[in-house]
Structure 1
Amino acid sequence: MTKRPGLSFSHVGIFVTDIERMADFYTQVLDFTITDRGTLEGPNGPFELVFTSRDPDVHHQIVLVAGRPAHIPFNVINQLSLMADSLETLKAYYRRLQEANVEELLPVTHGNALSVYCRDPEGNRLELYIDTPWYVSQPMRVPMPIELPSDELMAWAERHARGLPGFRSREEWRADMARRMGVDRTTA
């Protein structure tokens, strides 16, 4: 399938209060690798950056930037979402996050995705997820029994999704989106 020309999402940078604690979490719990780190001069003096990635072809996917004031009462980041390569991987990270005692650990289905939500050490919401073969109208979120064996969990998720508004195959949804975005799906 041809992608929409122009822009594609690449990476995100987030301000942090405790850069070492955050770097430890992203590298030790979520398996990111520090690809670079250093200091830049900014308008308020020098600040540290830690570049992380999970892809050897991508220098950085998440950049941690020192300088987030501790007194800010509201976090403007809604969530950072990471796609898992399989349900087994998602379940393995769920167990790792349990062991790491993260806050607000919640497995849910959105109908079109199975997700695990939690907070990183500075309260940024993370979503680890896999897509399902279905689409349902959004928003939709209900808790899911992630402890079920994978085949039973997928059967449960499909039964649930089939009863929701807008249910159709992901391929049908993709074809509609490609048409709406003006993307020719027949050329590679």
Structure 2
Amino acid sequence: MTAPQTLEVKFSHFGFHVQDLEGMANFYKAVLQFTETDRGGLGAFQLIFLSRDPDTHHQLALLTGRPDDVQAFNPINQISFQVPDMPNLRQVYQRALAAGASDMQATTHGNAVSLYFRDPEGNRIEVFMDTPWYCYQPLREPIDFDTSDEQVMEQAEAIAKRTPRFMPRAEWRAEMQVRMNRDQGRTA
């Protein structure tokens, strides 16, 4: 019996229906600096493709056809984007406020500092940066984003240290690599 081949999968893109195709595309272009890579029709739907990576045709696909009555319950919990550091997170914060994003919330998960806000059609967006720590999840506590970068990170670390299994991210990553190798039938 041969060992199963390692499955290689990585996340590619997210597509969702919208009511205002141009308005939603403009929001993602203004706030997160996506570039429109293509647009066109496919049957009854109009699409706009957006990306921030020249090797990836689209990371977001916006499609017409969202019904009016989905505001009562949106099946999209959140669309998450990662930034490398606090200056980038602050830039998104300013852009989102300037674009009229609603429901702005600054939080920490201990292992990340996150901003949550809503796009013009009510979809929740998370933009986050990793911290150098791991702690037990789920964890979500508000932080004061109107303080300095150092103070934000101090808040995040203090909250993370109060939780079970606090450790450096590198240590957690090494544990996860062993676990994933086992789960995926790899030996190394």
Shorter-chain TM-score above 0.5? yes
Residue 74 of structure 1, CA deviation: 1.6
Residue 150 of structure 1, CA deviation: 1.2
One-letter amino acid matched to 1:57: D
Aligned residue in 1 for 2:155: 156
Aligned residue in 2 for 1:65: 63
Q: Quick one: distance in 1 between partners of 2:187 and 2:143?
A: 33
Q: Quick one: distance in 2 between partners of 1:156 and 1:108?
A: 10
One-letter amino acid matched to 2:99: A
* CA 1:169–1:95: 2 relative to 1, 3 Å: same
> Would you identify which runs of 4 or more consecutive aligned residues in structure 1 move more than 3 Å?
183-186
Q: Quick one: distance in 2 between partners of 1:6 and 1:101?
A: 39
Q: Quick one: distance in 2 between partners of 1:19 and 1:71?
A: 17
Q: CA RMSD in A?
A: 1.7
One-letter amino acid matched to 1:24: N
CA contact (8 A) 1:178 1:185 kept: no
One-letter amino acid matched to 2:63: V
Aligned residue in 1 for 2:48: 50
Q: Quick one: distance in 2 between partners of 1:161 and 1:134?
A: 8
Alignment of 1:67-106 (within 5 A): 67-72=65-70, 73-106=72-105
Q: Quick one: distance in 1 between partners of 2:166 and 2:75?
A: 32
Residue 127 of structure 1, CA deviation: 0.1
Aligned residue in 2 for 1:14: 16
- The percent identity for this pair of structures is 46
- Count matched residues: 179
Which is helix-richer, 1 or 2? 2
Alignment of 1:88-167 (within 5 A): 88-167=87-166
Q: Quick one: distance in 1 between partners of 2:33 and 2:100?
A: 16
With structure 1 as the length reference, what TM-score do the two structures score?
Answer: 0.90
One-letter amino acid matched to 2:60: I
Q: Quick one: distance in 2 between partners of 1:144 and 1:98?
A: 17
With structure 2 as the length reference, what TM-score do the two structures score?
Answer: 0.90
One-letter amino acid matched to 2:132: P
Structure 2 SS opposite 1:152: helix
Could you list the runs of 5+ residues in structure 1 that have no partner in the other structure?
Answer: none
* CA 1:49–1:139: 2 relative to 1, 3 Å: same
Could you list the runs of 5+ residues in structure 2 that have no partner in the other structure?
Answer: 1-5
